[in-house]
Amino acid sequence: MKKLARKEVFLRLMLLPALLVSGIGAAHAQQSASSEQQAQPSPARNKYAVYTIEWISEQFDQYGQSVITPTSITIKPSARPLSLLTERLQAVYGVPITYEDTKYVGGEVADIAIHPGNAPSKTVIAKTIKERIALYVNIEVPPDGAPLDIRKKLAAKPLEEAVHSYNSQRGDEVFTITESEKGFHVVARKFVDVSGKMAELKPFLDTPITLSEGTRSISEAVEEIAKALPGLGIGILPINLFLQKQTTISASNEPARSVLDRLLNGVPVPAEKPISPGRYRDTAEGGYLSWQLRTDPDPKWGSALNFEIVKPLGTL
C-alpha cells in the first residue's frame, strides 16, 4: 500500500488511541484539543455511554488546539482550522464531514528548524504553514437517539458558520460546502499562488477515475483510488475494518470523490448502545466513515488521505 513518510502523519498516528488503528474504537481522538478549559455540564445522558460531549471534549482538549463545551467549539489559531473543526463537528453530531485541503506555496510556507529527539544536536529544516486562523462556532448537541437527518440539520449551521468565517478572514471563497448522502464535503477550491494572489484550484478528488469490476477489500479499493491520483498517498486508516470488509464497487470515469463516497457508504460500521453494565445492543443505524485529504507544505511529500470512524453520541 502507498505510504507517506510525512512527519505529520506519523505524529498523528502516535497521538491516536490504539483502538483507532485496530479499527475497533473511535477515530474521533485525532488531533485532540486543549485541556485549559473544562467542558460545562451537559444534559443527562446514558451513564454507560462512551460517546458523550464530555468524552469528546476530553479527547480533543488534551492537546491544546481547541476547546469544546456543550454550547460551542473554539479552534485556537491553527494552520488548518477547518480540518480541526470538521473533526470535532462530526464527533459531536455523528455525521461524516470530509475535508480536502488547499494548496500551500510561496509566501504561505516558511522554513522551520526541527531537532529530532534521537539526535538533538542535529538540525532538520522542514516546511510549515505560516497562516494561523482561529474559529468559533455555536453548537446544539443532538439529543440521544436523534436520527441522521436531524443531526445533519443541526450540524449544517455551525459548519456553514465556520466556513464563512474562514473565508472572510482569507478574503475569498477558499472553501466550499456540498451536501453528501450521509453528511457534508468541505472542499478547497482556491489557493494563494506564488505571487500572493488567490487562484483557482482543481481539487484532487474532482479527477475522474476508473475502477474495474471485481471483489476486493476496502483497503485494496482505497489503494487503487490513490494510485489513480498521482501525488496522493494513504495515511491513517482503520486497518482491521478495511482489511476484513469486501466490496464489489466499480467506476467508469467517475469523480474520485463520488467513488470514495459510495465506497465508504457501503462499509458497515458497528455501533453499539450500552443498555446496562456489560450489556450492549447493536444500533440499526451504525456508524460512518469519513476522510481528510491533507496537503503537505513541502511539495516532495504530496498529499495524504486519512480515514476516520464516526459514531453517534451514546454509542460504542
CB 259 within 8 A of CB 206: no
Q: Yes or no: say if 308 and 27 are a contact pair by the CB < 8 Å rule.
A: yes
Query: pLDDT digit string (tens) for 113-130?
Result: 888 777 777 888 899 999
51 within some domain: yes
Residues forming beta bridges with residue 59, ordered by sequence position: none
Query: Is residue 291 a part of any domain in this protein?
Result: yes
CB neighbour burial string for 169-187, b if at least 16 within 10 angstroms, e if fewer: ebeeebbeeeebebbbbbb
Q: Say if 47 falls within a structural domain.
A: yes
The DSSP element (H or E) to which 215 belongs, if any, is: none
- Inter-helix orientation angle 53-61/81-93, to 10°: 160
**Does residue 2 belong to any structural domain of this protein?**
no
- Report if residue 102 sits inside a domain: yes
Q: At how many degrees (to 10) do helices 148-170 and 81-93 cross?
A: 170
User: In the chain, which stretches have pLDDT less than 70?
Assistant: 1-50
The kind and range of the H/E element at 158 are helix 148-170
Q: Would you mind telling me the total number of residues written for the chain in this entry?
A: 316
pLDDT computed for residue 16 by the predictor: 35
CA angle centred on 29, ends 259 and 307, rounded to 5°: 15
Predicted confidence at residue 247, as pLDDT, reads: 98
Domain tally, the chain:
1
CB contact set of 242 (below 8 Å; sequence gap of 6+) = 23, 217, 218, 219, 222, 307
53 domain residue, yes or no: yes
Contact 60, 32 (CB under 8 A): yes
pLDDT at 43: 39
Residue 315: inside a domain: no
Give the model's pLDDT for residue 92: 97
Instruction: Residue 18: give the domain boundaries.
Output: 7-310
Half-sphere exposure (CA, 13 Å, Cβ side) for 50?
A: 19
Dist. CA 132–CA 79, nearest whole Å: 5
pLDDT for 45 equals 44
